[in-house]
Homo-oligomer: A and B are copies of this chain.
């Protein structure tokens, strides 16, 4: 079921839905989800029903489950982790005379929902006539606070129109909501029945607190709510609590024009260690603070926080209002996923749904962190500090696998490997080099030497040790990395994947550089000069395969000898191919799920000549089916670099509209944070041509595709705020804040100063033959 885009108007600073379409309700809940990286609330209707998938998520709160194997193998993870729907504090039910407010009954005159990118709120406006004939207007606004990490709040208003009505509001906190059934798609998460065991509940005045513990993972989760009531008529109120239900009830008889207003403050706290009374106190305190702040001030703080964010992060774009909207929508969701994650993971779906079981993958480092590094650098640092925190688990995993250093999990919530199919999980060792790459980028972008000295060094050293123990020197003294899975998941267990080897080389060299620089700290990690030397030798000897015959890089050794996929026999219904063909068939043929060698050309741009980039890009375009949402944005970046600007724009469109148009048909399970971040990458690294090679000046090679007449983006870099404006064949670099910055425009050095913007001409690119995609797999054309 696809979201008909007509449902959303292309407004620059908000996403507005004018009608309630129950067929895409679950998708809209993901798109309208609010989060701050700590707490996530799906965009479920206030009254709870109808719903697609109810969801309140807390970063790091999961339930464990035994992973089943028909044939067990050594080192298979025994326990899986699934994000759970915790106590639902979003619920405000209404009874209008005798009829529950439920949009499925009666007549819905108006239903509007608006996600405001600057306010950081989801607001709703409804006019509804109950089957009994009573008409009410309901408006609500909710936020998940960026400034008060543990807090979410709702301002709910209801008023009768035309005739008086008896109104009862029930504001609830519900644990163990019944969930919908999981389908047979490996990308969906496991649905766990009643994962919460009630440990404590209490109600007093307008306040309720519930404390639960997860059944198996033994995490304690507390939720509290408090209320402010503003009612122009006499109102009776009541409060109650039981194990799985807290409720604050308001009953009043309202005249037409009389508006009942209920402000609900909700706070969450969770821990694997803190006691139940401790957690209860924590959430009671958090709601007290929120109540003390008040609704209007919470709103104001929220806007202020986002004003700062947009000052650093905003991208302006003339010529395509849909993309303009989508890229801001995406940036908001990236911020919502990471802003206050604070040493917890940034899951692939953020906190917007239970897809992929709420796990974090390499998406964090390769897609989300590049955006956060230049816009919310503290959030990028915290995401990497989370990796540092789970280093002991990753070290234990490396040891279990027989290697040195650390082997980070392919998918996890708490740091333990949760991948139950190792050829497309544990074997994707590149995640370790991806983390090292993110460390390098963050440190270079921020000059955060304290981070490098401690967390950064430990991450670089441990991942370098992994590579050194994993690869080996062959008889010709070349360093091979055999038997790994690269980014493309339609290949597995291949030798010398080019992306992996190049990233591993960078990882080894970066560790050597950092350890040479901080010898004392490196010594504490038992690094000595001999080890550093070994890393450099391995890096220098790293195998990078090339097919001389075809003049392209095979994505892994012998890849280009494999049979070409027969696209003639594939109809649109066969996609994604993994649901229609066995891995046996996919792995052995030249068919690519997602950018792999093409990603290497973006992340390691200096390792390829311009001619190689063009030939490689054309070669892989013809066999890449983009069955992963991680592909289009990367293809956009490289398409732009090699000069296929129209195509780059099409891929930008696909990345940016992934969720607004539900292109992968699984937005119901949560938005695709990587793809949304990828829209920014497509614009900034694609049309802006940003290439950040640590240790070198930032490089730009801007060029605009037909139809986009102007592009402006900002980068926060080493304490400076840089603004880049591209219009026609001119690029203008302005320093909004900070010391002079040296940069390169098409490899030409220039220095931009606060008072002196630099204007550069954009060279004309060559005329290129458009590459072709597999039949039916070209991205949708953007006019």
Contact = CB atoms under 8 A, between A and B. Distances in A.
Given A584-B483, A585-B401, A558 B75 contact: no
A561 interface: yes
A783 B599 CA distance: 62
Nearest to A401: B582
A584 B426 contact: yes
Given A495-B558, A583-B422, A563 B482 contact: yes
Contacts of A402: 581-582, 585
Interface in A412-431: 419-424, 426-427
A584 B481 CA distance: 12
Given A67-B70, A73-B186, A588-B482, A426 B582 contact: yes
A585 B68 CA distance: 22
Contact of A70 (B69, B426, B561, B585): B69
Nearest to A186: B71
Nearest to A426: B584
Interface in A375-416: 400-403
Nearest to A474: B561
A587 interface: yes
A579 interface: yes
A480 interface: yes
Nearest to A483: B588
Copies in the complex: 2
A582 B492 CA distance: 15
Contacts of A563: 472, 480, 482
A73 B483 contact: no
A574 to B, nearest CB: 10
B480 A561 contact: yes
Contacts of A400: 582
A184 B66 CA distance: 15
A72 to B, nearest CB: 6
A628 to B, nearest CB: 15
Contacts of A495: 558, 561-562, 588
A475 interface: yes
A549 B472 CA distance: 18
Contact of A493 (B422, B587, B589): B587
A773 B475 CA distance: 21
Interface string A489-505: 00011010000000000
A743 interface: no
B73 A583 contact: yes
A423 B485 CA distance: 14
Interface in A583-601: 583-585, 587-589
A483 to B, nearest CB: 3
A160 interface: no
Contacts of A24: none
A301 interface: no
Contacts of A69: 68-70, 420
A483 B563 CA distance: 10
Given A563-B482, A587-B483, A582 B74 contact: yes
Nearest to A495: B558
Interface of A: 67-75, 80, 184, 186, 400-403, 419-424, 426-427, 472, 474-475, 480, 482-484, 492-493, 495, 549, 557-558, 561-563, 578-585, 587-589
12 contacts: A67-B70, A69-B69, A71-B186, A71-B419, A71-B420, A71-B424, A73-B578, A480-B563, A482-B561, A493-B588, A495-B558, A557-B558
Q: List 10 tightest A-B contacts by C-beta distance, closest first.
A: A483-B588, A70-B420, A68-B68, A75-B582, A472-B563, A71-B421, A67-B70, A482-B588, A71-B186, A402-B585
Given A70-B80, A74-B578, A75-B584, 15 more contacts: A67-B70, A70-B420, A71-B424, A75-B581, A75-B583, A401-B582, A401-B585, A402-B581, A402-B582, A403-B585, A475-B549, A482-B588, A483-B589, A484-B588, A495-B562
